[in-house]
Amino acid sequence: MGSGGMVVMDETDCMVDIARFFLEFTVDESCGKCTPCREGTKRMLEMIERITEGKAEYEDLDRITSLADTISSTSLCGLGQTASTPVVSTMHYFFDEYQAHVVDKKCPALHCKELISFFIESTCIGCLRCKRECPVSCISGEVKERHVIDQTACIKCGNCFDVCPVSAITKS
């Protein structure tokens, strides 16, 4: 985004979250002079955030497309006219990711916090590192035994995933 800029991404980047990031920037940069840009981008950002949180409905995808068209055709300046471009582009080229978020309540890139879960596999050596690093104490287990994550208490911070010395913690 911007003049002469390049952004490099791979399969670990969620395109819905990327669209949210750029839209968040546009919302912050809006001068507020025209309603389509000032209010429309905020509403679109709210819809995208609902998608990344797994709270959206399939109809929201149509609403986003309609709102994007309205914003780009009625805004007064170039910022508003191009504000919805990241969303429209990612929806065009990565629609399957939007569908996965909305229909399956899954993030294919395993990036959107509310749509992932952490599990401890049978390769766990029971070293207690994950248990010590968990800020909400949702991991249980004894030394040298496989540990278990309480999914209802897990805040999905990823600390356990980061510190496991044997990569026994997986995301899904």
Secondary structure element (H or E) that encloses residue 28, with its range:
helix 15-29
129 and 51 in a common domain: no
pLDDT band at 5 (very low <50, low <70, confident <90, very high): confident
Residues 139-156: what's their mean pLDDT? 94
pTM of the model: 0.82
The number of beta carbons lying within 10 Å of the beta carbon of residue 124 is: 18
Residue 80 sits in a domain whose CATH number is 1.20.1440.230
Segments forming the whole domain that contains residue 24: 15-104
**CA angle (98, 102, 104) in 5-degree steps:** 105
Kindly state whether residue 91 falls inside one of the protein's structural domains: yes
CATH of the domain at 131: 3.30.70.20
Please indicate, yes or no, whether residues 47 and 88 belong to a single structural domain of this protein: yes
Query: Structural domain tally of the chain?
Result: 2
- Answer yes or no: is 9 within a domain: no
Please choose, from the candidates 131, 136, 138, the residue with its C-alpha nearest in 3D space to the C-alpha of residue 160: 131
Per-residue pLDDT of 90-111, as tens digits, reads 999 999 999 999 999 999 999 9
pLDDT level of residue 156 (50, 70, 90 thresholds): very high
